[in-house]
């Protein structure tokens, strides 16, 4: 996935949020987006699956290419896009349904399976890959809301991977979790990148350095620097990045 000259404004153009962002999301890599609050990380993340479409007065300019096709082209089907680019939110948001039905939701609405056996298989595989199967296999019919916060977030990841997207977007996926649940999700991100491209917004620099291959530093709506994570943290090119990483602002 590639962003070309992406600019976003809110309030019908009165408020510029991000400007001329050019960024490649590497295949089967983790890209972390860091930067002070309000610098446009979430705005950019939401562009990648056209979540901003639902925000009145929000305007997106530029192109975002997925497999060479501009997702902002007129012929882009939104339902199809959402099956290619999945999203995991800050707070786990399971549906008020059973564990099984949460994971079954995507494959059902996208018509990915024909039989109950196939659906069962997708659900087991998705829960396994999300590292949750052993904890829930005997209670798939129970409400997802009865799980712990960390388990709910892994369920939301299972729900996302059940539709076999190419890219998974994660907006501060651990901000509502304790350190143990956070560690489990970080391990999971490391495993998931074997199969998916992942973009993660995080406020935790240690998390960015642990989970990502590349890091993008945003500042006041501009992409200041993007590079291998080790390089960004150990030898950043820009003073703004160095100051942020050094804790001088943010």
Nearer CB in complex with ligand ADP: 42/126: 42
Q: How far is the CB of 122 from ligand ADP (least distance, A)?
A: 32
Nearer CB in complex with ligand ADP: 11/53: 11
Residues 45 and 8: beta-carbon distance below 8 Å: no
Q: How far is the CB of 136 from ligand ADP (least distance, A)?
A: 32
Helix (H, G, I), strand (E, B) or coil at 11: helix
Q: How far is the CB of 217 from ligand ADP (least distance, A)?
A: 11
Q: How far is the CB of 90 from ligand ADP (least distance, A)?
A: 10
Nearer CB in complex with ligand ADP: 37/115: 37
Residue 138's contacts (CB-CB under 8 Å, 6 or more residues apart) are: none
Q: CA 192 → CA 58, 85, 120, 202, distances in Å?
A: 32, 14, 21, 17
At residue 230, φ and ψ (nearest 5 deg) are: -60, -40
Catalog residues that contact ligand ADP under the rule CB under 6 A.
10-11, 15, 17, 35, 37-43, 55
Helix (H, G, I), strand (E, B) or coil at 66: strand
Nearer CB in complex with ligand ADP: 55/113: 55
């Amino acid at each position: 996935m590639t962003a070309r000259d992406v600019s976003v404004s809110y309030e019908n153009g009165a408020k510029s949020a991000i400007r001329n962002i050019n960024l490649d999301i590497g295949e089967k890599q983790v890209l972390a987006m860091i930067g002070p609050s309000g610098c446009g990380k979430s705005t950019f993340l939401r562009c990648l699956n056209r979540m901003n479409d639902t925000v009145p007065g929000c305007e997106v300019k530029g192109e975002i290419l997925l497999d060479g096709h501009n997702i902002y082209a007129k012929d882009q089907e939104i339902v199809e896009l959402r099956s290619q680019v999945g999203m995991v939110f800050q707070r786990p948001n399971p549906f008020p349904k059973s564990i099984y039905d949460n994971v079954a939701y995507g494959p059902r609405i996208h018509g990915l399976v024909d039989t109950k056996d196939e659906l069962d298989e997708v659900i087991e595989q998705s829960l396994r890959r999300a590292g949750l199967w052993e904890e829930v296999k005997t209670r798939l019919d129970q409400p997802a809301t009865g799980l712990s916060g960390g388990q709910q977030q892994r369920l939301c990841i299972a729900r996302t991977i059940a539709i076999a997207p190419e890219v998974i977007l994660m907006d501060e996926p651990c901000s509502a979790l304790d350190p143990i649940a956070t560690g489990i999700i970080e391990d999971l991100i490391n495993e998931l990148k074997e199969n998916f491209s992942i973009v993660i917004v995080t406020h935790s620099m240690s998390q960015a350095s642990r989970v990502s291959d590349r890091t993008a530093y945003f500042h006041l709506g501009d992409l200041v620097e993007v590079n291998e994570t080790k390089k960004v943290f150990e030898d950043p090119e820009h003073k703004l990045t160095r100051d942020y990483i050094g804790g001088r602002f943010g």
